[in-house]
Amino acid sequence: MHQFQPYPMEVLEFNPFKKIGQDWGVIVTERDGKTNGMTASWGSVGCLWNMNIATIFIRDSRFTKEMLDATETFSVNFFEEGKMKAAMGYLGKVSGRYEDKLASARLTVNHQCETAFLDESNFVLICRKLSATRLTEESFLDPSIKENFYKDGDMHTMYIGEIMEVLAR
């Protein structure tokens, strides 16, 4: 296993548009000894309720939603730029409901206290769930959002998590 160090948030240089939107992250959840990872490119980081937070958006159909709803914590994992795109493509296409995706993608599970994360990552947000809000049609003020993203009714739930720790190596 690699050595990860806690990274002070005050000195963090993090471009969310690039890191989340272009490089992508992997959301890792663990329950009853089963660990799953799902690629995500929608999300944000910021401040809310006097805490540093990460927000992720998970559709109803994802196995990750089932896992998240049954757990207290999750991790958001980032890799060295340009690396692991094939693995992330796999985790973003296949569902963990039917197989151990992390094993198939040859990824290694590490832990920070009770929270699972990927040993191959170089930057990890360890998060504690604070809220879960399912977006509904009534949420959208711009009608094109429903039209463009939710025609099939597979809605997102917005999970806000407190960033308890940032790990880097």
Ligand X SMILES: Cc1cc2nc3c(=O)[nH]c(=O)nc-3n(C[C@H](O)[C@H](O)[C@H](O)COP(=O)(O)O)c2cc1C
Query: Based on the number of CB atoms within 10 Å of its own CB, is 17 exposed (0-12), middle (13-18) or buried (19 or more)?
Result: exposed
| In the complex, minimum distance from the CB of residue 11 to ligand X, in angstroms, rounded to a whole number | 27
Nearest-approach distance from CB 60 to ligand X, in angstroms: 9
**Residue with smaller CB distance to ligand X, 15 or 104:** 104
Q: By the 8 A CB rule, do 165 and 118 touch?
A: no
Residue closest to ligand X, measured at CB:
92
72 forms beta bridges with none
Cα dihedral value 43, 157, 102, 125, nearest 10 = 40
In the region spanning residues 1 to 60, those forming contacts with ligand X, defined by CB under 6 A, are 24, 36, 38-42, 57-59
- Residue number with CB closer to ligand X (105 or 163): 105
Q: Give the residue from 45, 48, 47, 66 showing the smallest Cα distance to 56.
A: 45
* Minimum distance from residue 144 beta carbon to ligand X (Å): 19
Residues 73-92 that bind ligand X (CB under 6 A): 92
**Rounded distance between C-alpha atoms, residue 76 and residue 38, angstroms:** 10
Question: Among 95, 111, 112, 146, which residue sits at the site for ligand X (rule: CB under 6 A)?
Answer: 95
Nearest distance in Å: CB 151, ligand X: 15
Nearer to ligand X by C-beta: 59 or 146?
Answer: 59
Cβ atoms of 76 and 56 closer than 8 Å: yes
Q: Is residue 97 a contact point for ligand X (CB under 6 A)?
A: yes
| Residue among 62 and 125 whose Cβ is closer to ligand X | 62
Residue with tokens 């039917």, as numbered in its chain: 98
Rounded distance, CA 28 to CA 86, Å? 17
**Among candidate residues 30, 59, 33, the one with its CA nearest the CA of residue 127:** 30
Q: Which of 51, 94, 109, 135 binds ligand X (CB under 6 A)?
A: 94
Closer Cβ to ligand X, 6 or 60, answer by number: 60
